[in-house]
Amino acid sequence: MRREQNTLPRRHFIATCLLAGMAGKAFSKTTSMNAEMKPPRSIVFPDAGDIPNSRLPLLVYAGAAPADADAIEALFRRNGWQPAWRYGVYPFPHYHSTAHEVLGVYRGSARIRLGHSAGRVFDVKAGDVIVIPAGVGHENLGASEDFHVVGGYPPGQRADLLRGREGERPEADKNIARVPLPTSDPVYGESGPLIALWKAAAEKTGE
């Protein structure tokens, strides 16, 4: 990054530093509320053309949940997300324009491509949790015979199923823009990292 000369007046510079320090303390206080909280892997995928992806980061929580369907459903409910189904992941590229989605792996393992052609492949296994923002493509590239996940959504959100076909956009983009941010993290609740990460991304992009 090219260094630029600081032309701020001294008092403005000092105020900026104080604000940055306050923000850092607030973040530290929030994260310290749960000593066992493990930060998720956070990835933003660019637009893939036929599949829009999202300016919100996809989150991967490795080993954050019990390898048990009932326990994962209870975890999601406790943290304000609604478990909706138990199944696998479709073996074709698809996305949802009307809801954010959480997947909790409770059995087996799989290679999941996230972000479509602009994304990457992840190896997931029992205990992993993936939070997929509305618009982000996902696809099962191969899984063990016993691979299953619990799927869920924030309250009031219901997922459509789009496959990146001609004519889906720009209507899908309008739907995605209308999907509200969740008020809690499905793994860690109201103080979870999703809240700060998605709020920062939304503010940065003017959503």
**pLDDT at site 207:** 52
Tell me whether residue 64 is in a domain: yes
CATH number of the domain where residue 124 is located: 2.60.120.10
Please give the residue range of the domain that contains residue 146: 39-205
* Cβ contacts of 38 within 8 Å, gap of 6 or more: 61, 62, 63, 64
Domain count, the chain: 1
Tell me whether residue 25 is in a domain: no
Tell me whether residue 10 is in a domain: no
**pLDDT at site 205:** 76
**pLDDT at site 19:** 32
Tell me whether residue 56 is in a domain: yes
**pLDDT at site 61:** 98
**pLDDT at site 109:** 98
Rounded distance between C-alpha atoms, residue 102 and residue 82, angstroms: 9
Tell me whether residue 45 is in a domain: yes
**pLDDT at site 166:** 95
Rounded distance between C-alpha atoms, residue 23 and residue 43, angstroms: 22
Rounded distance between C-alpha atoms, residue 199 and residue 123, angstroms: 27
Tell me whether residue 21 is in a domain: no
Tell me whether residue 22 is in a domain: no
Tell me whether residue 166 is in a domain: yes
pLDDT along the chain (207 residues), means of 10: 38 36 38 64 97 98 97 98 98 98 98 97 98 98 98 98 97 97 98 97 81
